């Protein structure tokens, strides 16, 4: 369970976007466009903003962060990538 106060200040570490909290699954999800490979944001052309990755893709991923012992694990590489 993540407190409302914490939810208010948390943002996606990849794109700084808003997160949606799923109380049942106890997960935080950002459904903005991220690179399906590395999870970094992509620009309007579908190009990954991470210089080392640089992947251009026509599909994107949302990021789902899990919560452990009431602490959200806000790590891009730990987040589950959800095709979108």
Q: Which chain residues interact with Zn ion by CB under 5 A?
A: 12, 14-15, 17, 30, 32, 35, 37-38, 48, 50, 53, 55
Closer to Zn ion by CB, 17 or 46: give it: 17
Closer to Zn ion by CB, 12 or 28: give it: 12
Distance CA 43, CA 35 (A): 10
Residue 39 CB, nearest approach to Zn ion (Å): 7
Distance CA 72, CA 84 (A): 22
Closer to Zn ion by CB, 14 or 27: give it: 14
Query: What does each C-alpha distance from 60 to 32, 40, 67, 74, 83 come to in angstroms?
Result: 9, 10, 23, 19, 6
């Amino acid at each position: 369970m993540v407190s409302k106060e914490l939810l208010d200040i948390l943002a996606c570490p990849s794109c700084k976007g808003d997160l949606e909290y799923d109380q049942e699954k106890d997960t935080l999800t950002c459904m903005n466009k991220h690179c399906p490979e590395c999870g970094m944001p992509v620009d309007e052309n579908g190009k990954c903003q991470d210089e080392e990755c640089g992947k251009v893709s026509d599909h994107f991923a949302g990021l789902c962060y899990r919560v452990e012992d009431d602490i959200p694990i806000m790590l891009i590489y730990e987040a589950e990538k959800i095709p979108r």
